[in-house]
Every structure is written in C-alpha cells, then in structure tokens.
Structure 1
Amino acid sequence: MTTVSELGTFQDAFAAALAERTSAPIAAWLPSPEVGETGLAVYRNTIAKGCVDALAANFPTVAGLVGAEWFEAAAALFARQHPPASAALAAYGEAFPDWLARFPPAGDLPYLPAVAGLDRLWTTALFAEEAEALTAEAFALAPEALAGARVTLHPSLAFVWFDNGLPGLWLGAREPEPDGLEWVEDPQGVLIVRPADAVACRLLDAAGHAFLAAARSGASLGEAITAAALADPDADLAALFAALIADGVFIDLIPGAPS
C-alpha cells in the first residue's frame, strides 16, 4: 500500500523529471529508461501546449499584435525557461513582460513589454479580491467633511501613466475587431478595475491619474482634488470625481479632520 509520504516523494521526483527534462529522478519507479523518456515526452508536450494556450489567453493584446506564429514560438520558449509553479494556469505569465524586454526578437518592438504589462494588470484585476464599490450616496457629506475624508481604493484597481499613447493603442487592440490602430505621441494614462463581474478599462487623463495617485498615498479627498487641479488646471474636477465613483474605484470612506 502506497503511503502519503511515498506519494509525495514520487510527485516531487516527477516534477523534477519534467523540469530537468530527464527521467533520472523517477528511475526507481520505471521498468526501463526508454519507457520513462517516452512517457515524459507526452507529459512535457501536454504541459507546454497548456502553457502556450494560457499565455495566449492572458496576453491577448501581445498575441494579436505579433501574430500567432511569432507568439507561439516565443511562448513555448518562455514556458521552457519559466515552467508553471502550479497546475493552475489561469494567471500564468507573471514574468512574461520582463522576459519580453530581454527577448532579442522583440527588440524591434520596444512597446511590446509595456503592452504585456498592461495585459498582466488586466489579468491581475480579474483575479483580485472581491469588494463592493461605494455609490454616489456614500459621498453625500458636507463639503468640509468630504474634503477631510480619505478613501480606500478597490483591490482590483490599477492605473498607469505613460509619456506616450500606448494606453490608447492597447485599448484599441483589445477590441473584438481592432480597426485603424493609431499611435499618438501625447501622454496618456489607463485605468483598470473590476468592481463587479467584469474588468473595465478606460483612458485616464493627467488629473485623474494625479487624483488616484494622491488617494493611494493616503491623501484626503481635498488634497487629492488639489493634486488633480495642479496636474491639469482646466480639468472639470466635479466630473472627474463623478466618473471615478461610476468606475467603482472606491470601497470605503474614512472620516477625517475637515480641511
């Protein structure tokens, strides 16, 4: 009868055999080395295919921009160098953006690692902790009280600022039927959040990014609004705040000293 300890020993040896691409770690359980190598090849191919499919699902914008053949070859090489740490591949590919930055064939595509990074943020938002977003009613306070309050941001929220138009390119490429993708030089930000069942993404202007960065650092709402106004003196601050509430980025309102 196989004990739990023996089963664990075999599982560890089997994982080592797959990672090291040799049947030596499981030789004690094999009738012959040839049988081991043949069987391991089947498992390796199955795992490799699963990794490539998972990367294609987790980095669809990258795959769409470079084409299936290029992506599958790169993904297969990445999977050999970075085997999955667990059987669950839904969030596989944490190291893929940094790997692309060092991947010589991607040298002519300098935007690709950043695109992969945005794809990764989307996947991270998808699997982030659940939290109920505040509605506009939660902010129905006297102006002084509202200005002194602080907010807790949604755990799925990500926002990034770029010195170019990469966010617009990324959002356009994620459309079901991308058409007329354009690269613009103007700085842009992007907001990614999953307040309910689906991940939502949109462009974020300088004032919105400054507001969220201040709020995340612990600033009061009054201080965050001031940061937004400094980033863009022409911004409609009331509309900005209303849009963020509609996005579902706030999950808690913490009273503070009036400011």
Structure 2
Amino acid sequence: MSELGRFQDAFVTALAGRTAAPITAWLPDDADQPPGLAVYRNTIAKGCVDALAANFPTVASLVGDDWFRAAAALFAAEHPPASAALAAYGEAFPDWLSRFPPADDLPYLPAMAQMDRLWTTALFAPEAEPLAAEAFALAPDVLAAARPRLHPSLAFAGFDSGLPGLWLAAREPEPGEMVLADDPQGVLIVRPHDTVRSRLLDRAGFAFLTAARDGASLGAAITAAAETDPAADLAALFAALIADGVFSGLDLGDPT
C-alpha cells in the first residue's frame, strides 16, 4: 500500500475512533490532538444525520426534529457510513430503533422506519421497463405456466396491524387524523418509471407477490392468493398489479 493509502486508512480510523493516535506518525511533534479532526468529525456527523432525516422522513415527522436528530446522531456514531455516498444510508436504522430505549413507548416506530427504508430502496433500484397488459395476452395454459419476473424496484411487506395505513397517512403533505387499524395490512412500493408509488396491499396480493418472488408460476401464485383469501377478486388483483408496474419480464414455461 502507498504512503497516501496508509494515511487515508489511518485518518478514517482516527475519525471513527475519535482519537488522533492512528495518525500521530504524520503529525508534528506538538500536535497531539489537531483541532481539524473535530471539524471533520462534526461535518461527517451532520452529513449522516441529514442523510437519515432525508431517508426516514416519516419517522422524523412522527417524533419531531429534536428527538430524531438526537437519535440519528447516536445511530451514526455506532454505524458510520461504509461509503462516501449517503443517498441510501441507514440500512440498519429500523432494527436499531427496535433496540433504542427512548423508542420503547413508540412501538410502531421500527415499522415506520422499515417502510421508509423500502421506499428509499425502491427509489435507487435499477431501471427496468414494466410489462404492459398486452404481454399477458397468452393462451390460458401458457399464461398459467409462465413465471413472472418482478420489477427490480418492487418492495412489499406485511404487518399484523394497520401500520402501512398509518405510514401512508403520515407521508401525506398535510396528514389528517391518523388511526392505527387492528386488521393486518400490507404495503406495496414500486418505481416503474420516474416516481415511487406506494399503496396498501391486501392479503391475497401479498400471497401472490410472495409466491412470485419465490419463483412460482403465475398459476401457482394465483392459487396461493385464492387460498389465502377465497373471496378475493383475482382478476382485479392481477390487473391492479399490472397497472402498478410490478412485472418486468415473463419467462414462458411448458404448459404440459
């Protein structure tokens, strides 16, 4: 490794460890704790907090700026960024919140963070052209045997209560009264073109997407949806998913 490379590694260690010891070999004899290190640390810390506020806006709106920034600073100290790009920073934040004692009175907060994270993941996912309805105009047996490829931006999750509805309401420009429903709900997030879309996902839709994600054929995925909710309108469900742009490919199988 070059001298510059060794210094850069030592400098990063000094910033993370809040001590100048790793870089003493490059410092003048009278500079045990150069004040410039604090400037760099503060700049990095502020960047991390700002990135978390941008990536978890629902959490920030629910707890308020002071609470969020204090929590984000603690998280950033424990989880420094792995790269200079902070656009998707905070992968571990939802799980961290579930163990953060001041959030014990806010049991919905980790789920809010999880959905914020899914939204950010969808935003930065690779591009792909979604399939139009015409792509599914196949003979019934061929269509049933086909295996769908889900759009790379698609994210979905299921919850035991109405947390997705609460999350969607909190993300409105002017949130009204937010009520946590008792019934299980799912959320679907996808970015088929330039805009991330989010909506509630019912049990049948969640079962269908789970089966498709696991490699099932369209016929098997539809069967999973029907078994989960026998009253579901399967034609409407499938049409809605196509309109959402959740499919990016279709691998035709052998109908026999």
Question: Shorter-chain-normalised TM-score: which range?
Answer: over 0.9
Q: Which residue of 2 aligns with 1:176?
A: 173
How far the C-alpha of 1:230 sits from its partner, in A, is: 1.4
For residues 32 and 42 of structure 1, what CA distance do their matches in structure 2 show? Answer: 21
The within-5 A match list for 1:66-215 is 66-215=63-212
For residues 67 and 176 of structure 1, what CA distance do their matches in structure 2 show? Answer: 16
For residues 72 and 33 of structure 1, what CA distance do their matches in structure 2 show? Answer: 36
For residues 133 and 217 of structure 1, what CA distance do their matches in structure 2 show? Answer: 19
Runs of 5+ consecutive residues of structure 1 not aligned to the other structure: none
Report whether the alignment pairs 1:11 with 2:8.
yes
Q: Does structure 2 conserve the Cα–Cα contact (< 8 Å) formed by 1:30 and 1:36?
A: no
Q: Does structure 1 conserve the Cα–Cα contact (< 8 Å) formed by 2:133 and 2:242?
A: yes
Runs of 5+ consecutive residues of structure 2 not aligned to the other structure: none
How far the C-alpha of 1:33 sits from its partner, in A, is: 5.3
For residues 171 and 9 of structure 2, what CA distance do their matches in structure 1 show? Answer: 39
Q: Which residue of 2 aligns with 1:250?
A: 247
- Out of 74-83 and 227-236, give the one that drifted further: 227-236
Q: Which residue of 2 aligns with 1:61?
A: 58
How far the C-alpha of 1:211 sits from its partner, in A, is: 0.8
User: 1:24-51 deviations in whole A, cap 9, x for unaligned?
Assistant: 1111222255474311001111111000
Q: What is the identity percentage for the equivalent residue pairs of Structure 1 and Structure 2? A: 76
DSSP-derived class of the 1:37 partner: coil
DSSP-derived class of the 1:252 partner: strand
For residues 86 and 220 of structure 1, what CA distance do their matches in structure 2 show? Answer: 39
Report whether the alignment pairs 1:30 with 2:30.
no
How far the C-alpha of 1:149 sits from its partner, in A, is: 1.1
DSSP-derived class of the 2:215 partner: coil
For residues 14 and 30 of structure 2, what CA distance do their matches in structure 1 show? Answer: 12
Residue type of the alignment partner of 2:67? W
Residue type of the alignment partner of 2:22? P
- Out of 123-132 and 100-109, give the one that drifted further: 123-132
Alignment RMSD (CA, Å) = 1.4
